Amino acid sequence: MLRFLTIACVALCSCQWLIRPGTDFEKSPPPPEPDYSLRESWAALPDRADTADSVPSEADWKDAQSTASADVFFVHPTLYFGGTWNADVADATVNRRVDETTLRKQASVFNCCARIYAPRYRQATIAAFLDKKNGAPALDLAYSDVLRAFDYYMIHYNQGRPVIIASHSQGTRHAYFLLKDRFDRKPALSRLVAAYLIGMAIPEHPYATIPICKSATEVRCFITYRSATPGTELKRLPHDPEPPYACTNPVHWKSDDSLAEADLNPGGVSANFEKVDPNVCSAQCQNGVLLISKPKESGYHNISGNFHVSDYSLFYVSIRKNVADRIAAFR
């Protein structure tokens, strides 16, 4: 419940005082820096049992990481609402939220065909997105962890394999800069299958050598969308880039404004993570937002029409299939 109340505060920008830490960032000592040579600094690793191995309980799917030909580096969203600007990666409560929500219900979509690496990092508290002065250094600190985790992954785990970058919300802000710093105009671009930059505003042309994906099998490109019903205002936050924003339709995987009717959506997986709901909603990109029809089934959370929390859930089956298609195209 706290999570959804916090998202409502962000959406309305009206209760910052309820969630803002009591001191400025510069007066708050940061938590200890995570050591990515330690396995406990990772929320998911492919050779360890964790919640990223999950599949919906009623779906006839398998975790196939042991035979996967590619990797995914997954950056989780904000699950910290505490009284400091950045979370401690040893915080058991925060880690449990990460594991039971985003790893199980988002990162797991990739276990069809990619080994999942998900670092724990000193994520910025939710209030950082409403505070320009203190939020910027808090988000920069979080990104410094993500960058170090990725560099460790590339040196010690990747071994020349194709890699997918995937993320949601705060994680997408970090993944957006990760592509700039480690892939755009860089040799590592040759290993990039695609980047799934979901749940955050991304400019239309952010990179010199990484375009937006325009088909279901294009590689070395990025996918991005933010889900909402028609008439919903997605407020621009202090750290959002300048518009216009990019959008990819996660049903037919085009970046134009063509409508994908609900009968083309192979299925969502709601919050209970039990079964597939076929044809759960339609989707259409308009002005940098993915406009969806009201979901036909319950369990897809929204705040006043903003389906941010359900960005992955509404298109879970489509994403799972697309990951396999892009890896096959890459190889």
Break the chain into its structural domains and give their ranges. 2-330
What's the CA gap between 137 and 195, in Å, rounded? 25
Reading phi first (left if > 0) and then psi (alpha if -120 to 50, else beta), residue 169 is in left
Is omega for the bond preceding 244 within 30 degrees of 0, making it cis?
yes
pLDDT of residue 195: 98
What's the CA gap between 17 and 81, in Å, rounded? 13
Q: Which residues of the chain have pLDDT under 70?
A: 1-18
pTM for the whole structure? 0.95
Strands of the sheet with 222-223, listed across from one edge: 42-44, 114-119, 70-75, 163-168, 192-198, 222-223
For Cα atoms 57, 61, 62, give the angle at the middle one, nearest 5 degrees: 105
pLDDT of residue 22: 84
pLDDT of residue 12: 41
pLDDT of residue 106: 98
Cβ–Cβ under 8 Å, residues 37 and 129:
no
pLDDT of residue 16: 53
Report which residue type is found at 154: M
Q: Nearest Cα to 25, choosing from 124, 137, 129? A: 137
Report which residue type is found at 65: Q
Q: Is 148 exposed, middle or buried (0-12, 13-18, 19+ CB in 10 A)?
A: middle
Alpha helices by DSSP H, listed for the chain, are: 2-12, 16-19, 92-97, 104-105, 132-153, 170-182, 316-330
pLDDT of residue 184: 98
